[in-house]
Structure 1
Amino acid sequence: MDEMLVANRELTLAGVIVLAPGVFLGADAGEITDEQKVALGDLHLRKIDLADRVLIVNPGGYLGESTRREIAYAHATRKPVSYTDPT
């Protein structure tokens, strides 16, 4: 999450419109229902639809299951994908 916040800040200060996750799942997410998780996953795909390109923030090269799904979707919709760390 910290890396995503840093990337968001740097891109925003560079004048880029950033469509980032609004909720970070994990230890600090609080209670999120399965229905909400599905809705958030769909929302992330809609954000990819709006984006010109997709930056994957992947410290240490890590890619989780939902991120891999989003990368596949971005490729399928012909969005350029770049990464902060090698995969």
Structure 2
Amino acid sequence: MPYPQLPTPEEQLAEAKKLLSLPTIVVICGSTRFMTEMNEADLRETEAGRIVVKPGCDMKSPNRLWSDPDEAEALKIRLDDLHRAKIRLADEVLVVGDYIGDSTRAEVAYARSLGKPVRFTHPEVDPGTD
């Protein structure tokens, strides 16, 4: 006699979002050189009734939190892990900007591996499914 299949954590999260009647959650991805564009996208997505999560730090701008190179490298690793968690939480991904570097390319691949829909403000930079 087969045992009932337990729901995956992802299925449990999706069900919890439904039970809580949460709006669509969008994670914004892209190079932090596009922080101004990310803020504009946040405004548009919020106005459309979506919950928005996005990068919280622009490590390209000077700040005492990442002034030490060793601490900056450790912080970058933690921030990358945190952003992948945001991708797992989100219902969809919005990639901002007309350039995609290695980090954003990896985020897009990760999101697609999870079955998340990915939108682009500049569709011509979509790296495809590779």
TM exceeding 0.5: yes
For residues 45-69 of structure 1, give each alpha carbon's deviation from its aligned partner in whole angstroms, at most 9, with x where no partner exists: 00000000000002xx300111111
Are the counterparts in 2 of residues 55 and 82 from structure 1 also a CA contact under 8 Å?
A: yes
What residue number does 1:6 align with? Answer: 40
After TM superposition, give the deviation of residue 29 of structure 1 in Å. Answer: 4.4
Are the counterparts in 2 of residues 53 and 79 from structure 1 also a CA contact under 8 Å?
A: yes
After TM superposition, the score normalised by the length of structure 1 is: 0.89
* Counterpart AA for 1:41: D
* Counterpart AA for 1:66: S
2:105 matched to 1:72? no
The CA RMSD measured in Å over matched residues stands at: 1.1
After TM superposition, give the deviation of residue 25 of structure 1 in Å. Answer: 2.5
* Counterpart AA for 2:90: A
Taking the aligned partners of 2:114 and 2:88, their CA distance within structure 1 comes to 8
Aligned residue-pair number: 84
* Structure 1: gaps (5+ residues): none
Taking the aligned partners of 1:29 and 1:50, their CA distance within structure 2 comes to 29
After TM superposition, give the deviation of residue 84 of structure 1 in Å. Answer: 0.2
What residue number does 2:63 align with? Answer: 30
Larger Rg: 2
Taking the aligned partners of 1:54 and 1:46, their CA distance within structure 2 comes to 12
Taking the aligned partners of 2:107 and 2:93, their CA distance within structure 1 comes to 9
What residue number does 2:49 align with? Answer: 15
Aligned residues with identical type, % of pairs: 44
* Structure 2: gaps (5+ residues): 1-34, 67-71, 126-130
After TM superposition, the score normalised by the length of structure 2 is: 0.61
